[in-house]
């Protein structure tokens, strides 16, 4: 390692120590305040006490992981600056979903499958729980990929070894502190990711080797021109209009049905906090989107011969280490490592919450609540999620592809059932279950059999089919004497 890499590594280690320390202190204070150290709800839901600012930071940090940082920078090679639409769309999604965010807090539910189950019954409950858990397993793998790629770039440590180390750290951090640890540390992560990375970007661009933004754009044009039409690094549209619409649709559908997001909404102190926090998270996400994309542009345009090597998963790390001072590099990369670990931790906690609420308590423990047993079961599931994520990481898949597949498989079917469950009083239980299964099957076929044609997210065709199916089957059920599913009861604010 050179001196810059050594300095960056030291800062990453110190930052991670600070992350763990903040998390453990927050967890200890939460337990002391609640006087219930064994409460599974406190462990997994932070006692349902989050205000709008902390909730916004938690939403942003939960969604801003490997795909939104290193993944966007990586994809600048393929799509130019339009790779940033992946994050811009998430901001639009948070703002649109803010209108239904209060329903999660008022539903007295802790998980998406639980909300689905209240309207559509046991089969829908179990199917949604299983697909949601598998999706979060995949999402955990995406965060491990991002973290390991940065460690690999900084230390030259073998990627697979870095992935194993990352998995161990994530499992230990999550099992010890729970959701209170994640929410407390997220405030620091958000500050460093947004403000820190933005400041670092301006420092990098001011480097004489880049020559300011004008110099960066000139170099990007030169690299694009010399590629024979293969590259268009400055394009904001190359990703394609169908893909942009797919991104927006994906987030609008996956946020209301994604456990790591719904769990955060459900942890709000009230519905108003859930709505305001979602809007704040959307504004921050949309504004932040261009930062990792521009850093990726620096790598492909300004590092000699870099674009000749094709897509690089370490583009963000390489650009930062090359053009930023050692201390700045360390702070930026450490915040990304911490954020990806935090996102992985949030995914694992979401997995544990669903297993505890939707499988262990109702079907394994026969409806009997036992906090000590539930916490143990939650930690076992967290470990399993981490190991599954490690397997995904070792397959060396593209981060954004993994995340989009996970989002589609968990949300394509349940989204139609969720929306109709809230707003259509006549929908039937059978229609909800068939729609969930049909939408999931279509999404899986779109990804694995058709290879996502037109660049359109599988969540779109899956959801369209699910809506058609739920409408047709409901009409058939009602015409043959069937009755609507029982409405979900919401707490008053």
Residue 269: Cβ-neighbour burial (10 angstroms; 0-12, 13-18, 19+)? middle
Residue 219, pLDDT > 90, answer yes
Domain boundaries of the chain, sorted by first residue:
3-411
Estimate the crossing angle of helix 85-97 against helix 72-79, to 10 degrees: 120
Helix (H/G/I), strand (E/B), else coil: 107: coil
249 vs 346, residue with greater confidence? 249
316 vs 402, residue with greater confidence? 316
Question: For 197-311, where are the alpha helices, taking DSSP H only?
Answer: 197-205, 212-226, 241-254, 259-266, 271-288, 290-302
Q: Residues 150-158: what's their mean pLDDT?
A: 84
User: For residue 490, what pLDDT is reported?
Assistant: 65
**Are 41 and 47 in contact, with CB atoms under 8 Å apart?**
yes
Question: For 424-456, where are the alpha helices, taking DSSP H only?
Answer: 429-448
Residue closest to 62 by CA, chosen among 243, 246, 245, 267: 267
pTM of the predicted protein model? 0.76
49 vs 468, residue with greater confidence? 468
pLDDT band at 178 (very low <50, low <70, confident <90, very high): low
Question: For 303-358, where are the alpha helices, taking DSSP H only?
Answer: 315-323, 326-355
Q: Give the span between the Cα atoms of 169 and 341, in whole angstroms.
A: 8
Q: Residues 170-176: what's their mean pLDDT?
A: 77
Residue 81: Cβ-neighbour burial (10 angstroms; 0-12, 13-18, 19+)? buried
- The residues near 29 (Cβ < 8 Å, ≥ 6 apart) are none
In the chain, % of residues over pLDDT 70: 90
187 vs 144, residue with greater confidence? 144
User: For residue 310, what pLDDT is reported?
Assistant: 92
Residue 479, pLDDT > 80, answer yes
Mean model confidence pLDDT for the chain: 86
Beta bridge partners of 50: 268
pLDDT band at 212 (very low <50, low <70, confident <90, very high): very high
266 vs 386, residue with greater confidence? 386
- The residues near 77 (Cβ < 8 Å, ≥ 6 apart) are 231, 233, 296, 300, 307, 310, 311, 312, 315
**Are 210 and 298 in contact, with CB atoms under 8 Å apart?**
yes
Residue 481: Cβ-neighbour burial (10 angstroms; 0-12, 13-18, 19+)? exposed
User: For residue 43, what pLDDT is reported?
Assistant: 47
In the chain, % of residues over pLDDT 90: 40
21-35, 438-452, 477-491: which is most confident: 438-452
pLDDT band at 66 (very low <50, low <70, confident <90, very high): confident
Domain over 3-411 is classified CATH 1.20.1730.10: yes
State phi, psi for 268 to the nearest 5 degrees: -70, 155
């Amino acid at each position: 390692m050179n001196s810059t890499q050594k300095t960056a590594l030291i800062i990453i280690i110190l930052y991670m120590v600070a992350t763990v320390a903040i998390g453990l202190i927050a967890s200890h204070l939460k337990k002391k305040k609640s006087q219930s150290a064994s409460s599974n709800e406190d462990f997994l839901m932070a006692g349902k006490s989050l205000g709008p600012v902390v909730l916004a930071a938690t939403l942003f940090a939960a969604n801003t992981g490997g795909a939104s940082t290193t993944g966007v920078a990586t994809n600048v090679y393929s799509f130019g600056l339009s790779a940033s639409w992946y994050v811009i769309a998430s901001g639009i999604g948070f703002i649109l979903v803010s209108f239904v965010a209060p329903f999660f807090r008022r539903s007295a539910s802790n998980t998406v499958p639980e909300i689905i189950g209240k309207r559509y019954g046991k089969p829908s409950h179990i199917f949604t729980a299983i697909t949601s858990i598998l999706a979060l397993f995949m999402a955990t793998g995406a965060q491990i990929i991002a973290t390991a790629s940065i460690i690999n770039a900084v230390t030259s440590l073998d990627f697979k070894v870095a992935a194993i180390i990352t998995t161990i750290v994530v499992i230990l951090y999550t099992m010890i502190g729970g959701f209170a640890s994640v929410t407390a540390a997220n405030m620091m992560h958000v500050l460093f990711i947004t403000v820190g990375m933005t400041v670092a970007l301006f420092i990098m661009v001011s480097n004489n080797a880049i020559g300011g933004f004008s110099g960066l754009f000139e170099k990007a044009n030169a690299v694009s021109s010399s590629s024979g039409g293969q590259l268009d690094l400055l394009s904001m549209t190359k990703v394609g209009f169908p893909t942009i619409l797919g991104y927006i649709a994906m987030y609008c559908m996956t946020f209301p049905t994604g456990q790591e997001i719904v769990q955060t909404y459900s942890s709000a102190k009230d519905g108003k906090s859930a709505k305001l926090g979602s809007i704040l998270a959307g504004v921050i996400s949309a504004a932040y989107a261009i930062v990792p994309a521009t850093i990726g542009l620096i790598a492909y345009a300004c590092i000699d011969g870099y674009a000749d090597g094709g897509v690089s998963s370490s583009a963000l790390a390489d650009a930062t280490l090359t053009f930023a001072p050692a201390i700045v590099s360390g702070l930026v990369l450490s915040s990304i490592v911490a954020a990806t670990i935090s996102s992985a931790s949030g995914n694992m906690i979401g997995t544990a919450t669903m297993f505890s609420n939707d499988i262990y308590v109702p079907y394994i423990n026969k409806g009997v609540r036992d906090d000590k047993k539930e916490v143990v079961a939650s930690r076992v599931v967290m470990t399993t999620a981490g190991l599954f994520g490690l397997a995904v990481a070792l397959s060396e898949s593209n981060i954004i592809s993994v995340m989009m597949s996970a989002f589609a498989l968990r949300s394509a079917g349940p989204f139609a059932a969720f929306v109709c469950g809230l707003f259509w009083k006549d929908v039937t239980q059978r229609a909800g279950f068939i729609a969930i299964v049909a939408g999931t099957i279509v999404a899986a076929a779109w990804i694995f059999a058709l290879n996502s044609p037109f660049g359109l997210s599988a969540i779109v065709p899956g959801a369209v089919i699910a809506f058609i199916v739920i409408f047709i089957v409901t009409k058939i059920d009602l015409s043959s004497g069937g009755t609507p599913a029982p409405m979900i009861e919401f707490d008053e604010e």
